[in-house]
């Protein structure tokens, strides 16, 4: 925490000309930190940066880590948005996922958050997970909609090498939904949310009008963001830089440790600049996650040429995918259709230049 306060002060001086319009305390689980300490971090950010009066300030949380007193502290500190990782409303599913909370604990937490004055709440859910049938998934969504959160995120289970789920899957002891069931669950969520008045604005996110995540939209719009803290990543002015993930190195970097380190320079002094090909691919890769797709005039403004001129070798591919109903061109925008979302990984890979270092990193 001492190193973090030091970083906030130093980076505040470096970026004194910027206006901060979103702050996001991301996971892990920042709510395991004492609430007063987290409030002090936010106070330091406001002291050292130009924070807009209407800034969106979000804390990620797990239901089992918050109580009424903590919520009131966050609210007084200026937090105006909660993102709660509920994942499921069925205790058997929660147990299989290794969550520390129960459905009952979540319901109590949600009620406490409303009572504390939070009027912008996101709920995270997972599908295609053990013990979650299509019927139970629909019941989960209906209960969530009854609570009327301002925002919902819904993600399919991803099996990552090195995890317990991956080991169980390889051994045949973990049952998860097949691809067809996974896609039905996804589209059922989109259908129910849309009918309930939510705007499906990104592949895995929906919100009541006006409550789209302003912070996450920065990632999907290829905008600048500054990461603070251990292992935090940043993207500013076309440069990427990352803080050390080792605590001793981080403490040395920000002057709170007397240990020697080979990393004496600040992150922005060792930044890795994007090539044009990197930037174009990242812009496409993130922008196509938005349901409205990419604005073609914005592409030209950023890169100095039309989208079709940058990808002349993809004209036939784009035409075929559009005719087959996987891509759309309308109102000056280019994006994925609902059918295209189902095969988005394959489509996105078509816009990577195989000669770029970034493409090689993605493949690895």
The string of pLDDT tens digits covering residues 61-105 is 999 888 999 999 999 999 999 999 999 999 998 988 878 899 999
CB 122 within 8 A of CB 83: yes
235 strand-pairing partners: 225, 240
Burial class of residue 88, CB neighbours in 10 A (0-12, 13-18, 19+): buried
Lowest mean pLDDT among 98-107, 160-169, 270-279, 305-314: 160-169
CATH architecture of 276-363: Orthogonal Bundle (1.10)
Q: Which CATH class is domain 19-219?
A: alpha beta
Q: How far apart are CA 302 and CA 151, in angstroms?
A: 30
Instruction: Name the residue among 141, 252, 218 with its Cα closest to residue 186.
Output: 141
Give Cα 209 to chain centroid, integer Å: 19
- Average the pLDDT over 210-239 and give the result: 94
Pairing of strands 151-156, 199-202: unpaired
What is the strand order of the sheet 333-336 is part of? 294-295, 333-336, 327-330
Q: Could you tell me the pLDDT band of residue 256, with boundaries at 50, 70 and 90?
A: low
Model confidence, pTM: 0.88
Task: With residue 192 as reference, give the H or E element that holds it.
Answer: helix 179-195
CATH 1.10.10: which residues of the chain?
276-363
CATH code 3.80.30.20 region(s) in the chain: 19-219
Could you tell me which residue, 355 or 5, shows the higher pLDDT?
A: 5
Range list of β-strands (E), the chain: 19-25, 50-61, 81-87, 121-127, 151-156, 199-202, 205-207, 233-236, 239-242, 272-273, 294-295, 327-330, 333-336
């Amino acid at each position: 925490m001492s190193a973090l306060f030091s970083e906030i002060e130093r980076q505040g001086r470096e970026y004194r000309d910027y206006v901060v319009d979103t702050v996001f305390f991301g996971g892990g689980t920042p709510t395991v930190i004492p609430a007063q300490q987290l409030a002090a971090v936010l106070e330091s950010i406001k002291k050292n940066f130009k924070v807009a009066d209407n800034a969106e300030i979000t804390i990620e949380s797990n239901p089992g880590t918050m109580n009424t007193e903590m919520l009131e502290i966050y609210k007084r500190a200026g937090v105006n948005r909660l993102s709660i990782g509920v994942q499921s409303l069925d205790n058997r599913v929660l147990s299989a996922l290794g969550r520390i909370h129960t459905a009952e604990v979540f319901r109590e937490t949600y009620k406490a958050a409303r009572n504390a004055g939070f009027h912008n709440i996101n709920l995270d859910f997972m599908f295609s997970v053990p013990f979650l049938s299509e019927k139970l998934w629909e019941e989960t969504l209906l209960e969530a909609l009854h609570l009327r959160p301002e925002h919902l995120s819904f993600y399919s289970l991803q099996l990552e090498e090195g995890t317990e789920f991956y080991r169980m899957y390889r051994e045949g002891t973990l049952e998860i939904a097949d691809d067809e069931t996974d896609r039905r669950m996804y589209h059922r969520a989109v259908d129910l949310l849309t009918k309930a008045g939510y705007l499906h604005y990104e592949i895995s996110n929906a919100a009541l009008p006006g409550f789209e995540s302003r912070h996450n939209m920065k990632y999907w719009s290829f905008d600048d963001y500054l990461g603070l803290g251990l292992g935090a990543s940043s993207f500013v002015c076309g440069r990427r830089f990352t803080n050390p993930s080792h605590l001793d190195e981080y403490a040395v970097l920000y002057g709170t440790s007397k240990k020697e380190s080979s990393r004496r320079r600040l992150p922005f002094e060792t930044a890795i600049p994007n090539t044009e090909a990197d930037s174009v691919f990242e812009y496409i890769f993130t922008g196509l996650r938005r349901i409205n797709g990419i604005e073609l005039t914005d592409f030209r403004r950023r890169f100095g040429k039309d989208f079709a001129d940058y990808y002349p070798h993809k004209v036939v591919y784009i035409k075929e995918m559009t005719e087959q109903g996987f891509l759309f061109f309308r109102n000056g925008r280019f994006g994925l259709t609902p059918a295209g979302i189902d095969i988005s990984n394959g489509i996105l890979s078509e816009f990577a230049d195989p000669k770029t270092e970034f493409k090689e990193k993605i493949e690895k």
